């Protein structure tokens, strides 16, 4: 099994105006996703949800500043680390990732001893 990171990118503003009921629906969708991963034969090995970019502190060239590195329409909001048989398998899983205000990106994690993929 290979480990992949499913990164979730969404429009933060949509979450800022979300009702408690809508937030509950998002949480329910993520619970369903975690069950679906197991049903598909994958394993979630980690993950997390990030606070909004307004809470970010960036360091570039040794300079510390408030806020994210770049302004964008979508922000990195969370991730899952998933073990899957291969790219096709993780893409089947990733298609189910809840991201109602954006999308996801899938990348394999690196075996540091082997170096970057070529």
24-83: pLDDT as tens digits: 999 999 999 999 999 999 999 999 999 998 888 888 888 888 876 666 788 899 999 999
What pLDDT does 70 receive?
63
Of residues 115 and 99, the one with the higher pLDDT is 99
Q: Which of 83, 116, 100, 118 is nearest to 6 (CA)?
A: 83
Domains defined for the chain, CATH in brackets: 2-108 (3.30.70.1060)
What pLDDT does 69 receive?
65
**Beta strand pairing status for 75-84 and 2-10?**
antiparallel
Collapsing DSSP states into helix, strand and coil, what is residue 67? coil
Sheet with 102-108: list strands edge to edge. Answer: 43-49, 75-84, 2-10, 102-108
- How far lies 30's CA from each of 15, 50, 75, 78, 103, in Å? 15, 15, 18, 11, 14
What pLDDT does 71 receive?
65
The predicted model scores a pTM of: 0.88
């Amino acid at each position: 099994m290979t480990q992949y990171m499913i990164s979730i990118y969404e429009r933060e503003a949509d979450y800022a105006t979300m009702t408690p009921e809508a937030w509950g629906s998002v949480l329910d969708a993520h619970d369903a996703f975690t069950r679906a991963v197991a049903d598909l034969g994958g394993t979630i090995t980690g993950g997390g949800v990030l606070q909004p970019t307004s809470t970010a502190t960036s360091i570039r060239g040794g300079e510390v500043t408030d806020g994210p590195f770049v302004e964008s329409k979508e922000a990195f909001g969370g991730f899952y680390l998933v073990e899957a048989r291969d790219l096709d398998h993780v893409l089947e899983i990733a298609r189910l990732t809840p991201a109602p205000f954006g999308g996801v990106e899938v990348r394999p994690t690196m075996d540091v001893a082997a170096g970057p993929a070529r």
